[in-house]
Amino acid sequence: MSQFSPRVLSGMQPTGNLHLGNYLGAMLNWIKMQSTHETLYCVVDLHAITVWQEPKELRKAIRDVTAAYIACGLDPKRSIIFNQSRVHEHAELAWVFNCVARLGWLNRMTQFKEKAGKDKEKASVGLYVYPNLMAADILIYRATAVPVGEDQKQHLELTRDIAQKFNIDFADEIREQGFGDAYFPLTEPIITGPATRVMSLRDGTKKMSKSDPSDLSRINLTDSADDIARKIRKAKTDADGLPSEVKGLEARPEAENLVGIYAALAGSSVDGVLREFGGGQFSSFKNALADVAVAKLSPITEEMNRLLADSAYIENVLADGAARAGAIAAPIMHDVKKIVGLI
């Protein structure tokens, strides 16, 4: 799709703390892409309110996640950093997409089924159309690539389906108005984090998640060095020691997870980690893992706290980001309205 210049957008919800899974699975990629692409990173506060959020906590969480973005290495000069709700075109385009996407498409979304739980009748309508808003987040900038975790693949497919249906349904207008044969790009998901799936420290078959009731299951970016070391020491393992070959990790999800985390944090490979620690006991490997985790994460925690102490700074980043994002979004929303026939 050469007619679209490369542009990257991604986002995370301001609910709960960011954790090691967010950092290794997504952020490292986001940071890297800053040097090769035009990048926009948003805090998706409109997505957060698809389930109940206490307003006081939401306000704080939006600022916290913004600080975490910057502390991890997103640079507000190189990237556009903003919160979704300040750029009203996201919500506006989402409405148009509510009218493009089909009920049958949304009915297939597995994340809705998981989040809505047993009593679907009580889920908000917003939770149901969540993927349409996500498509709008991406396409309001005509973004060509979206770095996300594995679990978002299905939403990216829906985004492409929406783009394609829009391009086909309005093909005549798109052509007549001089936009060629497609107005929206078919956005590519980019799922190549060094550890795209960081699993729970309590159960190696479940993703590390901010909604897990056990705080021992995850390492938060705000955890102290002591917390990090304690959680790693308590991490579930099996009775065997560390294998010296990758094959030996098969069907041992907890061992595989810890080795994967070490490799990602140390910038090495699973092979390399096993060469160094294979044949040894978990206890000494866990000490080494705690050291590397603390070394990587405590500067992030400190920087986050430093940034949060200056609330004007975060506010300025978000205001500036929203202005820059809005400058891209406004003409695209204008085009969309014209294409659709809204006067």
Interface residues with ligand TRP (CB under 6 A)?
A: 9-13, 44, 47, 134, 137-138, 146, 148, 152, 155
Give me 204's structure tokens: 């190696």
CA quadruple 335, 340, 342, 343: dihedral sign = positive
Q: Closest distance between ligand TRP and the C-beta of residue 111, in Å?
A: 7
The residues that bridge with 190 in the sheet, in sequence order, are: 147
Which residues neighbour 289 within 8 Å (Cβ) at sequence distance 6 or greater? 232, 258, 261, 262, 265
- Which residues are the active-site residues? 115, 207, 210
Alpha carbon distance 71, 301 (integer Å): 7
Q: Closest distance between ligand TRP and the C-beta of residue 169, in Å?
A: 23
3-state secondary structure of 7: strand
Give me 69's structure tokens: 């973005």
Nearer to ligand TRP, 63 or 90 (CB): 90
Q: Closest distance between ligand TRP and the C-beta of residue 93, in Å?
A: 12
Closest to 256 measured CA to CA, from 243, 267, 272: 243
Per the CB < 8 A criterion, the answer to whether 282 and 241 are in contact is yes
Nearer to ligand TRP, 92 or 276 (CB): 92
Closest to 83 measured CA to CA, from 55, 63, 57, 56: 63
Q: Closest distance between ligand TRP and the C-beta of residue 22, in Å?
A: 9
Per the CB < 8 A criterion, the answer to whether 335 and 170 are in contact is no
Nearer to ligand TRP, 158 or 258 (CB): 158
Q: Closest distance between ligand TRP and the C-beta of residue 132, in Å?
A: 11
Nearer to ligand TRP, 134 or 242 (CB): 134
